[in-house]
């Protein structure tokens, strides 16, 4: 089976590509390389440099390769940037990938796994959050992912494209062999920033918000190791290829970890304290985002194996220690 991985040179996409190869699939990567890293890709996966919105490139890709399914990761992901530049996010995350769907249609490729997000829920009314919770995104980023989920539903009803959207909570951690990990420019994610501060690569780490209604006042998130996240993709891909209907699933652990707890875990992993300051809340951050992952667990027997915060932080620290400049 040959899988097209869009955004396959990014943090999650490249981990997915390496896992596909390791599990006996063939993979072709389509990545604009605006944010991707060539070094993160296995030699077995050819890289096509281009955008999912570029009809010529995508058409050629489908005619050059016999593609059995698509995993769509390509997209912008900075919530705060999306608030400043909503049109950029709508164009890149919603309008552009319609070309991908059209080319799938023309090539007769039906299955697509879509990288969605907990941001489609907005500020949750109840936690843990199940898939049928109200969808009310509070950022253009969340809206762009929700809009593409809706597009997928229309493409199923109208053209028989079969999709599973996975709503990720907080993807984190590095490959277990320590060779690949998170390398964003700019970096905005908690675990990478705090690991870098602990290693002296940043002057300090700031906790955004200490007055939330949570046990220790800092925000709660549901951290999921990329290894477990990618394993969920393989399980749903196999089901979709075998005829499972289109659907959506949360991917998280069901456990909330506070920012302060993450800092404590990183202190433990580093073996020493590091400068931590307390700052105001970051605009648009919900106080608590914790998944109810019962649906994916029940249907697919998926179970996180590396997503306790200790394992996530240990893998991230190993990567940041050996790659102080990321892939740069």
Q: DSSP letter string over 208-228?
A: E-S-SSSTTSSPEE-EEEHHH
Of the candidate residues 190, 248, 290, 313, the single one contacting ligand UFG (CB under 6 A): 190
**45/259 with CB nearer ligand UFG:** 259
| Contact call for residues 78 and 11 (beta carbons, < 8 A) | no
CB of 24 to ligand UFG, least distance (A): 30
Residue (8 or 75) nearer to ligand UFG, CB: 75
Taking CB under 6 A as the rule, does residue 206 contact ligand UFG? yes
Q: Which sign, positive or negative, has the C-alpha torsion 127, 128, 134, 139? A: positive
Residue number, 104 or 196, with CB nearest to ligand UFG: 196
Give CA separation, 310 vs 137, 193, 226, 317, in Å: 30, 16, 14, 10
Q: How far is the CB of 216 from ligand UFG (least distance, A)?
A: 12
The mark string for 127-146 relative to ligand UFG (x by CB under 6 A, - otherwise) is: --------------x-----
Q: Which stretch binds ligand UFG (CB under 6 A): 51-59, 115-123, 148-156, 229-237?
A: 115-123
- Sites for ligand UFG among residues 225-264 (CB under 6 A): 259
- Cβ atoms 107, 156 nearer than 8 A: no
Pair of tokens at residue 293: 């992952």
Q: Which of 181, 171, 193 is nearest to 282 (CA)?
A: 193
Decide: helix, strand or coil at residue 114.
strand
Task: Kindly state the smallest distance separating residue 221's Cβ from ligand UFG, in Å.
Answer: 5
Strand-pairing partners, residue 163, are: 112
Rounded Cα distance, 194 and 328, in Å:
19
Helix, strand, coil percentages, rounded to 5, for the chain: 40, 20, 40
CB 55 within 8 A of CB 256: no
Q: Does 204 bind ligand UFG (CB under 6 A)?
A: no
Q: Annotated catalytic residue: which of 76, 121, 141, 249?
A: 141
141 catalytic, yes or no? yes
- Binding characters for ligand UFG, 62-91, by CB under 6 A (x = yes): ---------------x-x------------
Contact between 321 and ligand UFG per CB under 6 A: no
Q: Within 142-181, which residues bind ligand UFG (CB under 6 A)? A: 170
Could you tell me the CA-to-CA distances from 221 to 136, 152, 253, 261 in Å, in that order?
18, 27, 10, 11
| Continuous H helices in the chain | 11-22, 55-64, 79-84, 86-90, 96-107, 140-159, 190-198, 226-241, 259-270, 294-300, 309-322
Q: Which of 285, 294, 308, 327 binds ligand UFG (CB under 6 A)?
A: 285
Q: Is 219 in the site for ligand UFG (CB under 6 A)?
A: yes
Which residue in 66, 84, 282, 303 binds ligand UFG (CB under 6 A)?
Answer: 282
Q: Specify the length of the chain in residues.
A: 328
Which is nearer to ligand UFG, 104 or 207 (by Cβ)? 207
User: Which of 5, 45, 109, 119 contacts ligand UFG by CB under 6 A?
Assistant: 119
Q: Return the range that interacts with ligand UFG (CB under 6 A); candidates 1-9, 52-60, 61-69, 117-125.
A: 117-125
Of the candidate spans 19-27, 57-65, 108-116, 185-193, the one that interacts with ligand UFG by CB under 6 A turns out to be 185-193
Binding site for ligand UFG (CB under 6 A): 77, 79, 117-119, 141, 170, 188-190, 193, 206-209, 219, 221, 259, 282, 285, 289
Q: Which residues are catalytic?
A: 141
């Amino acid at each position: 089976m040959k899988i097209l991985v869009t955004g396959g040179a990014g943090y999650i996409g490249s981990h997915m590509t390496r896992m596909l190869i390791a599990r006996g699939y063939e993979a072709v990567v389509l990545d604009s390389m605006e944010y991707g890293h060539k070094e993160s890709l296995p030699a077995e996966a050819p890289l096509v440099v281009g955008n999912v919105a570029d009809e010529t490139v995508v058409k050629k890709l489908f005619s050059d390769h016999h593609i059995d399914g698509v995993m769509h990761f390509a997209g912008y992901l900075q919530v705060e940037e999306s608030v400043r530049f909503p049109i950029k996010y709508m164009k890149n995350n919603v309008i552009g990938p319609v070309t991908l769907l059209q080319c799938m249609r023309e090539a007769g490729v039906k299955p697509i796994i879509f990288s969605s997000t907990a941001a489609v829920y907005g500020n949750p009314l109840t936690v843990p959050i199940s898939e049928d919770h109200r969808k009310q995104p509070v950022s253009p980023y969340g809206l762009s992912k929700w809009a593409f989920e809706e597009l997928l539903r229309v493409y199923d009803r109208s053209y028989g494209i079969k999709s599973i959207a996975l709503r990720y909570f907080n993807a984190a951690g590095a490959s277990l062999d320590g060779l690949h990990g998170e390398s964003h420019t700019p970096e905005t994610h908690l675990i990478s920033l705090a690991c870098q501060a602990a290693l002296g690569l940043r002057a300090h780490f700031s906790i955004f918000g200490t007055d939330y209604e949570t046990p220790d006042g800092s925000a709660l998130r549901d951290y999921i190791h990329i290894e477990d996240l990618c394993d969920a993709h393989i399980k749903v891909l196999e089901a979709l290829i075998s005829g499972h209907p289109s659907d959506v699933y949360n991917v998280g652990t069901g456990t909330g970890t506070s920012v302060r707890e993450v800092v404590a875990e990183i202190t433990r992993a580093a073996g020493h304290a590091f400068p931590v300051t307390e700052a105001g809340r970051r605009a648009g951050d919900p106080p608590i985002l914790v998944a109810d992952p019962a649906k994916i667990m029940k249907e697919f027997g998926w179970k996180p194996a590396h997503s306790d915060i200790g394992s996530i932080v240990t893998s991230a620290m190993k990567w940041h220690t050996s790659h102080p400049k990321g892939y740069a």
